[in-house]
């Protein structure tokens, strides 16, 4: 049963991801990107990381995909479907990425990963919250500073100059 759900979710994710990189219309690319993000959220639920699945939908679909749609709307003329999608080296790049996948797949299937069976603790989300103000307090604060700096920087970069 789980493997059937995994196959469906993986199919949605990979098919949408392929459409993202090959679609002629940039707006279609973004809509396929949203479908891929939903597939990945489903994968997270399958891995019993429900909090991450919710964060994925909120941040990636709710914020990042919307930001990309804004970028496309604000730079409207660039989404002309008549323009070539790929640069001149796309054949070389396609061969390289296919080879990279073959190499990664060979490594991933050959290594005996030390899998440990076990049950998810019932209070995993509470523990994650406690970890963020305990063990990971410093990285957490640095991440928030990074977000503030990035937002201020984005405003300054995008501001209209007279």
Partner 1 sequence: MVPLTWYLLLAAALFCIGLFGVLARKNAVAVLMGVELMLNAVNINLIAFWRYTGLNQLVGQAFAVFVITVAAAEAAVGVALFISIYRQRNTVDVEALDDLKG
Contact between 159 and 85 under an 8 Å Cβ cutoff? The reply is no
Rounded to the nearest whole angstrom, what is the least distance from the CB of residue 82 to partner 1 in the complex?
12
- Provide the minimum distance between the beta carbon of 48 and partner 1 in the complex, in angstroms, as a whole number: 6
Binding status of residue 38 toward partner 1 by CB under 8 A: no
* Contact flag: residue 155 with partner 1 (CB under 8 A): yes
Asked if 12 is part of the footprint of partner 1 (rule: CB under 8 A), the reply reads no
Q: Please tell me whether residue 51 binds partner 1 under the rule CB under 8 A.
A: yes
- Residue 76 Cβ, how far from partner 1 at the closest point, in Å? 9
| Interface with partner 1, residue 122, by CB under 8 A | no
Q: Name every residue whose Cβ is closer than 8 Å to that of residue 98 and which is 6 or more positions away in sequence.
A: none
| Interface of this chain with partner 1, residues 87 to 116, rule: CB under 8 A | 87, 89-90, 93-94, 96-98, 100-101, 104-105, 108-109, 113-116
Interface pick for partner 1 out of 8, 120, 133, 137 (rule CB under 8 A) = 120
Q: How far apart are CA 118 and CA 114, in angstroms?
A: 13
Both tokens assigned to 87: 């640069």
Tell me how far apart the alpha carbons of residues 113 and 44 are, in angstroms, rounded to a whole number. 20
Least distance from C-beta 156 to partner 1, angstroms?
Answer: 8
CA nearest to 71, candidates 159, 158, 162: 158
> What is the contact mask toward partner 1 in residues 55 to 94, using x (rule: CB under 8 A)?
xx--xx--xx--xx-xxx-xx-xxx---xxxxx-xx--xx
| 10 touches partner 1 (CB under 8 A) | yes
- The site for partner 1, by CB under 8 A, has a size of 86
**95-42-51 Cα angle (round to 5):** 120
Distance CA 37, CA 16 (A): 9
Those residues whose C-beta lies under 8 Å from the C-beta of residue 140, and which sit 6 or more positions away, are 132, 133
């Amino acid at each position: 049963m789980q493997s059937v759900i995994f196959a469906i979710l993986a199919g949605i994710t990979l098919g949408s991801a392929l459409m993202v990189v090959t679609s002629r219309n940039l707006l279609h690319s973004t809509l396929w990107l949203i479908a891929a993000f939903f597939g990945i959220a489903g994968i997270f639920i399958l891995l019993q990381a429900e909090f991450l699945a919710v964060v994925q939908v909120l941040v990636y679909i709710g914020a990042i995909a919307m930001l990309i749609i804004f970028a496309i709307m604000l730079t409207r003329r660039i989404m002309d479907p008549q323009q070539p999608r790929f640069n001149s080296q796309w054949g070389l790049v396609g061969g390289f990425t296919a080879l990279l996948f073959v190499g990664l797949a060979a490594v991933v299937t050959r290594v005996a990963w030390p899998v440990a069976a076990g049950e998810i603790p019932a209070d995993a989300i509470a523990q994650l919250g406690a970890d963020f103000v305990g063990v990971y307090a410093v990285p957490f604060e640095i991440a928030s500073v990074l977000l503030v700096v990035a937002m201020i920087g984005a405003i300054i970069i995008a501001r209209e100059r007279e």
